[in-house]
Amino acid sequence: MKGRGWIGAAVVGAVLSVVGVSSAGFIQGTHVKTDLPGPFHITTSPDGGTLYICNQSGHSVTFVDARTQKVTGEVAVGVQPEAAATTPDNAFLYVCNAESDSVSVIDVARKQVVKEIKVGDWPSGIKISRDGKTAYVACSGNMWNTVDVIDTGRMEKTRAIYTSDYGPRTLDISPDGKTLAVINDTVGSISRSVNFIDVDTSRVLEKRVIRESSNLRDVVYTPDGQYVVVTYETPKNWLPVCEAENGQVFTNNIAVLETKPGGKVARLPLDELNNYDGNPYGLAMDPKGRYLYIGVRGMHRVTILDMAKVLNAVRGNSQAELDYLRDDLGFVRDYLVARVPTGLGPSSVCLSPDGKYCYAANYFSNNVSVIRTPVD
């Protein structure tokens, strides 16, 4: 379909249970200026009633009614939107425009951009504080190392927090609101890092290295704040890391980091011997921390892990034992719940506030998958 035609706003499949499924439901269609909008990031309103989808190639944000699964509107933003976050009252949506080096502020009720805020190079991740007063923007340019801070009342950038390494890709805010966990996807480094940053002082409290890591894509805190989980990949051999990245020569993993100073860094495999979770991307965790959802872009599925079993593995093994288990391609079966096929290239996942539905933004098939979760 050419021009600004609708690709379709109907659910193409039923919403299905996770256990034993071979497919998931779909929301298909966004009203954009291109045939290939490239939905890259998805998030929900605080009440779960609306989905906001950043169309990376369409340079827009699509609004979807989560109950009816119908498209309700679209707002043009800057070039290549890669992430968005709402204020707690759902009055405004803040959108990172990576190529425009800006953040668009959308008035949700009016479906209109009311402010464009200039930030650092290639903003790719954003979170808003629980009180709604502050937005933190990760600027991931190759030679950039800031998290820019926006006062949401004034809708202005007020300061920059400097990370220890280049390429802060995205971040999460600890449940108590005191600490930022920032992933630094420093191009060319064989061991990329996570910064724990004090919100009040803007100081890096600790730099934690994930050894032999590249392509850090997302980070999420557990509800108790004692751990963060990161998606990443490891080069399979001793090629220079830039060559490995270009050739996609990787094993696929999550890292689970204890947030206490000097805590463990568990590098846990997602791959099995003949079943690879190629290119793990976005993360979501249900409100009680029971399940972890991973958008696996290269294999067109969402992988679901049992977090109690993941954390039992972390707590029950020493750092040396965890380092050894990283290479055990049978280990994932200890904590794997399901691998659910989706559309093509799920780059981002989010959950409804009650944890009952998982939504995946499928970059290559230009739609959203809807998965009924294991949560009752």
Superfamily assignment of 211-375 in CATH?
Answer: YVTN repeat-like/Quinoprotein amine dehydrogenase (2.130.10.10)
Tens digit of each residue's pLDDT (9 = 90 or more) over 344-368: 999 999 999 999 999 999 999 999 9
Closest CA to 135 of 167, 94, 88, 163: 94
Closest CA to 208 of 265, 146, 144, 268: 265
**Residue indicated by tokens 């890669």:** 82
Write down the pLDDT at residue 241: 47
- Domain spans of the chain? 35-163, 211-375
Distance CA 135, CA 370 (A): 28
The two tokens of residue 181 are 């966990």
Handedness of CA 190, 346, 218, 371 (dihedral sign): negative
- Topology of the domain covering 35-163: Methylamine Dehydrogenase; Chain H (2.130.10)
> DSSP readout, 187-212?
TT-SSEEEEEEETTT--EEEEEEETT
Distance CA 29, CA 5 (A): 10
Query: Would 35-163 and 211-375 be classified into the same CATH topology?
Result: yes
**Residue indicated by tokens 């600790």:** 206
CA distances from 82 to 21, 135, 374 (A): 30, 15, 28
Write down the pLDDT at residue 190: 86
Closest CA to 285 of 374, 220, 362: 220
The two tokens of residue 246 are 């270009």
Q: What are the two backbone dihedrals, phi and then psi, of residue 311, each rounded to the nearest 5 degrees?
A: -70, -30
Tens digit of each residue's pLDDT (9 = 90 or more) over 101-133: 999 999 999 999 999 999 999 999 999 999 999
Distance CA 173, CA 166 (A): 20
- pLDDT under 70: residue ranges of the chain: 1-36, 236-249, 376
Write down the pLDDT at residue 249: 61
163: three-class secondary structure by DSSP: coil
Tens digit of each residue's pLDDT (9 = 90 or more) over 281-315: 999 999 999 999 999 999 999 999 999 999 999 99
